[in-house]
Structure 1
Amino acid sequence: MKKNVCIFVWLLCLVLSVAAQEKFVKLKIVQTSDVHGNYYPYNFITRQEWEGSLARIYVFVQKEREQYKENLILLDNGDILQGQPTAYYYNYIDTISPHICSEMMNFMKYDAGNMGNHDVETGRNVFDRWIRICDFPVLGANIIDTSTGKTHLAPYKVLERDGVKIVVLGMITPAIPAWLSENLWSGLRFDDMEETARKWMKIIREKENPGLVIGLFHAGQEAFKMSGKYNENASLQVAKNVPGFDIVLMGHDHTRECKKIINVAGDSVLIIDPASNSVVFSNVDITLKLKDGKILHKDIQGVLTETKDYGVSEEFMKHFTSQYEAVQNFVSKKIGTFTESISARPAFFGPSAFIDLIHRIQLDITGADISFTAPLSFDAEIMKGEVYVSDMFNLYKYENMLYVMTLSGKEIKDYLEDSYYLCTNQMKSPNDHLLWFKEKLKEGAADRAALQNFSFNFDSAAGIIYTVDVTKPRGEKITIISMADSTPFRMEETYKVALNSYRGNGGGELLTKGAGIPQEKLKDRIIFSTDKDLRFYLMQYIEKKKIINPQALNQWKFIPEEWTVLGAKRDYDLLFKKGKEK
């Protein structure tokens, strides 16, 4: 009997000892990405309540912290400094106060951030100031200081939670030089993501010996070569080809995604992307089984969670009331009067007052011969009557500079050939689409979901008279009839062309693939650049004129009209049938 009792006690002790050596660690990862200034639950552009915001996400974060405590890890994946007037105001208007974005992220207790291309677009004065105020590291493993060869920012962040070492490696899309003027990122370079990931994964494995590795990549998943040299949207490629990542948090492409893939080593990697504007966020649950400090098993599950379901944090709103009021006062300033309402919708189907107002102002500011611009806002409207600062964020969505470049007549034609190739379907009958739609639609921003290419690359021209024959193939669509004043347009002549800095630096590849100008030669063509963003000059122009009568210039048209008029009506209904008529 005593012997049996001893055996039982011994077995019990053994079981308890083994059990004591095993434990489970639960982690929660929350990722925001492409917030684009949507900090408050209010859209300062449309002057309406807004479903996406950090103020809503904070409700979820605080609720989950009650359970997870320090095991909730909050990460941002870039493009948080641009978009809503809130960001613009603290980027360029009030540069004395602490940056609101830093203050809010500190308040929410972010564990790490990452750089996005639109954060770089704000310029070094802005993004360096933002980073200095943040209580957490903003990462950038492939952002290199050219003077030292070292990373400008921390490449990765090490977090320890319940005995588990977690490493977050941050990278940005390397295509910055193809979009942004060098003065905005002077002294920096942006290395290839896959090469960078291989380098740092080796260092992380040897130096940190992590239990969990998270990639925080401001890049989408459909990789392609931008301007023949920048591997754009390489997040999925890195996740597959560089073993070691457990999770890859994506951004940049504004497309919702949540899936698991198998990498080249046969391991599962969670891929998740919360699209844009804080409408959803990445919500990842991790359960780790440990024994003697070693991870035996990982269970990683992710979902995209709707922000609107969590209400608004009163604590957040109260803490940032004064900043809210400052931005409200800024956007409420009257700058002029429009005699007509204008909408971006008609810009997809022919000349429009909306786009041609930008053309007129670009030509007036620069004295250029020809202007290029695109519908940067997919579905924006400015009503006739008094016009306010808030309306300017509808009229012009991004903080681009205004350039004047020299282009030959042939380069101008080839540029437009590529622009309309990206925009239009090659019609075979009057029953075909006028616009080029995707065969399979993805959930995300409306313009990016429906159309084959980004609408912000659909440039039209002013200053010339031309037609676009949508029955013709790429390279044969454009016929330039004359200059707008009826003087001849000559292929061999050199013209001054006004366009934005995104396009002038190679964005959309209309100058490189289209006009055939090598990427490295683009800067040699720039003969003028504004020192402030174009929206600033648009506001100045309207304030000076006081009354604006926006009208379409009617300097180009789609042909054959008996086909394109029908196609335009059908495609308009397809694109905008869910919205009110404009």
Structure 2
Amino acid sequence: MKTLKYIAILATFFLISSASARNIEIRIMQTSDIHGNFYPYDFITGHGSDGSLARVATAVTEARENGKMPLILLDNGDILQGQPTAYYYNYVDTASRHLAAEMLNFIGYDAATVGNHDMETGTKVLKRYASDCAMPVLGANIIDKRTGNPAFQPYKIINHDGIRIAVLGLITPAIPAWLPETLWEGLRFDDMEETAQKWLPIIKQRHNPHAIIGLFHSGQSGNILAGHKENASVEVAKNVPGFDIVMMGHDHRRENRKIANIARDSVLIINPANNANTIASVIMTFNVNEHGNVTGKTVKGNLLDMSGYKPDSAFVKKFATQKETVKNYVSQTIGTINKTISTREAFFGPSEFVDLIHTLQLAITGADISMAAPLSYDASIPAGTITMADMFSLYKYENLLYVMELKGKEIKGYLEESYGKWTNQMKSPNDNLLLFKQKVQSGDKSRSTLLYPSYNFDSAAGIIYEVDVTKPKGSRVTIKSMADGSAFNPEKTYRVALNSYRGNGGGELLTNGAGIEHSRLKERIVYSTDRDLRHYLAEYISAQKEITPKKLNHWKFVPEKWVVPASERDIRLLFNR
């Protein structure tokens, strides 16, 4: 009997203990690289679009209303560039509260980070956006040179049901490789891994969190630019023990997998890519004992496709006035163009599209030579009226326009690097002209992808040259003369018009190609516009009233008997037509 009584008491004890122990689930949702895609409408093309914050609002509302768990909502930067919605509230209407901040506040975000394209707007715009946000905008490795402290809040602690979750925000430190210092004056960008090593012990000592999330505007891995690791998220996840989740961005690549860090702990790395077409959704489950202590936790990540979600009606109604304001802005007439132009032919030789940019850059600056690339993979401007919306097709980014002094031999090296990224070395007539990363058969639903982005495919105007694609990288370009027939001198210094991304080292055409040290690039800049190049292009077109695009034909691929049929094959692969 005593034995039975003892068993009954023991059973009762375990029942009471197990009844007080519980599991707590918390959902974390992340957007990244929204690039101004606030509405389910593309203000550049005038058509409906996938993704958008309007659809994210629906997914978030459903998660809050239908879920039995608290929700943490995070944005990972690059929200202030891309669609005219962002541009308008960055530079045109600077008196209103920033639309991006208003939308994040309406949806109820808990924290955000700074992206490189947010930094590209300049500190005045960025600080305005951050101050308009109801939640903190994080950036532990964006340092105020004057104080030595972070210029933005480094982390945030979020509490739900007694569970403390820390969110540490970091940005890719490669900003100086892309942006002029005038846009980030007074700041520096520290190494991500070193910054994480500094802040994790501080966070643990001060707050003893139950979980730590890295919110990093940086891709998985790769690229050393101007001495900075551009994409270091996986390195940080592996080399700095303590993170349960690393939420990535910047490289526009979907990812959802677990890796082991150096302490052999599991870390979820997840990336929803760009344009709010997908969002990251992570469920963390915490095992809590009868004393309230966390004894274990699990992490499960998922990527949610937004195409199945309807735009949130409350969101659409709330921001309907701003939508109409931006639609009116992009509908403004700039001038007219008497021929349809497209970036498609720019991959295979001179094109009216890129040569229009060359013509305008030379006219605006009076430079000897212009450098420009097809910034958009597949953009076009139809014949007829040119609107402000078309200007976003003509010029995708908010780059400044520079004039730099380069020697003739540096210009040749610059072009060698460009065409080395652009073209394959053809060893037979059946080879590809373009340098593909992946090829698919013509007619496949997916398209072939290039090894390097097209915004690094700079051609030149103002000089006459050939590109022999049968030769190896570094020896393909032969410059024959200046465009006016005068001699081209490798030792002469020329004034070259190009964008600020390139002038600050972007794409490494000036460093790896021209052989100029990154620290010396600033010395070569003799002129810079105060506003973005798109503004001056619109101004010039407006003054001209009518534009007649034409090919300058200052360069060509050779041998043509190989190049012409290869171009016909490659355009089918590249554009699936």
Q: Which TM-score bucket, shorter chain as reference?
A: over 0.9
1:125 corresponding residue in structure 2: 124
Deviation at 1:69, TM superposition (A): 6.7
One-letter amino acid of the counterpart of residue 305, structure 2: E
One-letter amino acid of the counterpart of residue 220, structure 1: G
1:41 corresponding residue in structure 2: 40
Question: Is residue 241 from structure 1 mapped to residue 239 from structure 2 by the alignment?
Answer: yes
Cα pair 2:447 2:576 within 8 Å, conserved: no
Secondary structure at the counterpart of residue 474 of structure 1: coil
Deviation at 1:479, TM superposition (A): 0.2
One-letter amino acid of the counterpart of residue 237, structure 2: A
Q: After superposition, what is the alpha-carbon deviation per residue over 1:459-515, rounded to whole angstroms, capped at 9, x for unaligned?
A: 100000000111111210100000011111000000000000010011111111110
2:137 corresponding residue in structure 1: 138
Hey, what's the Cα distance between the residues in 2 that align with 1:448 and 1:264? 38
Hey, what's the Cα distance between the residues in 1 that align with 2:436 and 2:288? 50
> Which stretch shifts more, 249-258 or 294-303?
294-303
2:54 corresponding residue in structure 1: 55
Cα pair 1:91 1:122 within 8 Å, conserved: yes
Cα pair 1:331 1:388 within 8 Å, conserved: yes
Hey, what's the Cα distance between the residues in 1 that align with 2:446 and 2:532? 24
Q: After superposition, what is the alpha-carbon deviation per residue over 1:239-268, rounded to whole angstroms, capped at 9, x for unaligned?
A: 111111111111000111111111111111
Which blocks of at least 5 consecutive residues in structure 2 are unaligned?
Answer: none
Cα pair 1:369 1:495 within 8 Å, conserved: yes
Deviation at 1:21, TM superposition (A): 3.8
1:475 corresponding residue in structure 2: 474
Q: After superposition, what is the alpha-carbon deviation per residue over 1:268-317, rounded to whole angstroms, capped at 9, x for unaligned?
A: 11111111111111111221212233322222111211111111111000
Cα pair 1:112 1:137 within 8 Å, conserved: yes
Hey, what's the Cα distance between the residues in 1 that align with 2:19 and 2:185? 55
1:28 corresponding residue in structure 2: 27
Question: Is residue 361 from structure 1 mapped to residue 360 from structure 2 by the alignment?
Answer: yes
1:531 corresponding residue in structure 2: 530
Q: After superposition, what is the alpha-carbon deviation per residue over 1:89-112, rounded to whole angstroms, capped at 9, x for unaligned?
A: 000000011100010000011000
Hey, what's the Cα distance between the residues in 2 that align with 1:362 and 1:500? 9
One-letter amino acid of the counterpart of residue 304, structure 1: L
Secondary structure at the counterpart of residue 223 of structure 1: coil
Hey, what's the Cα distance between the residues in 2 that align with 1:28 and 1:260? 17
Hey, what's the Cα distance between the residues in 2 that align with 1:310 and 1:267? 35
Cα pair 1:223 1:237 within 8 Å, conserved: no
Cα pair 2:438 2:450 within 8 Å, conserved: no
> Which stretch shifts more, 20-29 or 81-90?
20-29
Deviation at 1:222, TM superposition (A): 2.2
Hey, what's the Cα distance between the residues in 1 that align with 2:34 and 2:167? 20
Q: 1:272 aligns with which of 265, 270, 273?
A: 270
Map 1:512-523; keep pairs closer than 5 Å. Answer: 512-523=511-522
1:383 corresponding residue in structure 2: 382
Hey, what's the Cα distance between the residues in 1 that align with 2:366 and 2:69? 58
2:179 corresponding residue in structure 1: 180
Hey, what's the Cα distance between the residues in 1 that align with 2:236 and 2:459? 36
One-letter amino acid of the counterpart of residue 243, structure 2: F
Cα pair 1:29 1:72 within 8 Å, conserved: yes
One-letter amino acid of the counterpart of residue 365, structure 1: I
Deviation at 1:77, TM superposition (A): 0.3
Cα pair 2:447 2:575 within 8 Å, conserved: no
Cα pair 1:405 1:526 within 8 Å, conserved: yes
One-letter amino acid of the counterpart of residue 80, structure 2: L
Secondary structure at the counterpart of residue 527 of structure 1: strand
Hey, what's the Cα distance between the residues in 1 that align with 2:439 and 2:550? 36
Please report the TM-score for the alignment, with normalisation by the length of structure 2: 0.97
One-letter amino acid of the counterpart of residue 321, structure 1: A
One-letter amino acid of the counterpart of residue 468, structure 1: V
Hey, what's the Cα distance between the residues in 2 that align with 1:358 and 1:470? 25
Hey, what's the Cα distance between the residues in 2 that align with 1:62 and 1:69? 13
Secondary structure at the counterpart of residue 185 of structure 2: coil
Deviation at 1:237, TM superposition (A): 1.0
2:395 corresponding residue in structure 1: 396
Hey, what's the Cα distance between the residues in 2 that align with 1:426 and 1:297? 55
1:250 corresponding residue in structure 2: 248
One-letter amino acid of the counterpart of residue 287, structure 1: T
Q: 1:282 aligns with which of 280, 283, 290?
A: 280
Q: Deviating runs (4+, > 3 A) in structure 1?
A: 3-9, 67-70, 446-449
Hey, what's the Cα distance between the residues in 2 that align with 1:450 and 1:10? 69
Map 1:432-511; keep pairs closer than 5 Å. Answer: 432-439=431-438, 450-511=449-510
Cα pair 1:71 1:161 within 8 Å, conserved: yes
1:261 corresponding residue in structure 2: 259
Secondary structure at the counterpart of residue 283 of structure 1: strand
Q: 1:69 to 1:370 in 2, by over 3 A?
A: farther
Secondary structure at the counterpart of residue 149 of structure 1: coil
Cα pair 1:378 1:447 within 8 Å, conserved: no
Hey, what's the Cα distance between the residues in 2 that align with 1:137 and 1:207? 19
Hey, what's the Cα distance between the residues in 2 that align with 1:310 and 1:201? 37
1:95 corresponding residue in structure 2: 94
Hey, what's the Cα distance between the residues in 1 that align with 2:447 and 2:454? 8
One-letter amino acid of the counterpart of residue 48, structure 1: H
Cα pair 2:403 2:528 within 8 Å, conserved: yes
One-letter amino acid of the counterpart of residue 51, structure 1: D
Hey, what's the Cα distance between the residues in 2 that align with 1:4 and 1:242? 52
The aligned length equals 572
Secondary structure at the counterpart of residue 438 of structure 1: strand
One-letter amino acid of the counterpart of residue 109, structure 2: Y
Question: Is residue 202 from structure 1 mapped to residue 201 from structure 2 by the alignment?
Answer: yes
2:229 corresponding residue in structure 1: 231
Cα pair 2:424 2:434 within 8 Å, conserved: yes
Hey, what's the Cα distance between the residues in 2 that align with 1:137 and 1:554? 51
Hey, what's the Cα distance between the residues in 1 that align with 2:60 and 2:326? 25
Deviation at 1:13, TM superposition (A): 3.2
Cα pair 1:447 1:455 within 8 Å, conserved: no
Hey, what's the Cα distance between the residues in 1 that align with 2:156 and 2:338? 54
Cα pair 1:448 1:454 within 8 Å, conserved: no
Q: After superposition, what is the alpha-carbon deviation per residue over 1:200-233, rounded to whole angstroms, capped at 9, x for unaligned?
A: 1121222221111111110111222113x11110
Deviation at 1:531, TM superposition (A): 0.3
Cα pair 2:448 2:574 within 8 Å, conserved: no
Hey, what's the Cα distance between the residues in 2 that align with 1:447 and 1:496? 42
Cα pair 1:70 1:161 within 8 Å, conserved: no
Secondary structure at the counterpart of residue 233 of structure 1: coil
Cα pair 1:27 1:68 within 8 Å, conserved: no
Secondary structure at the counterpart of residue 30 of structure 2: strand
Hey, what's the Cα distance between the residues in 2 that align with 1:449 and 1:259? 25
Hey, what's the Cα distance between the residues in 1 that align with 2:371 and 2:539? 20
> Which stretch shifts more, 270-279 or 68-77?
68-77
Deviation at 1:449, TM superposition (A): 7.3
Cα pair 1:36 1:83 within 8 Å, conserved: yes
Map 1:300-339; keep pairs closer than 5 Å. Answer: 300-339=299-338
Secondary structure at the counterpart of residue 437 of structure 2: coil
Please report the TM-score for the alignment, with normalisation by the length of structure 1: 0.96
Cα pair 1:409 1:493 within 8 Å, conserved: yes
One-letter amino acid of the counterpart of residue 244, structure 2: D
Deviation at 1:10, TM superposition (A): 2.2
Deviation at 1:20, TM superposition (A): 3.7
One-letter amino acid of the counterpart of residue 14, structure 1: F
Q: 1:312 to 1:389 in 2, by over 3 A?
A: same
Secondary structure at the counterpart of residue 377 of structure 1: coil
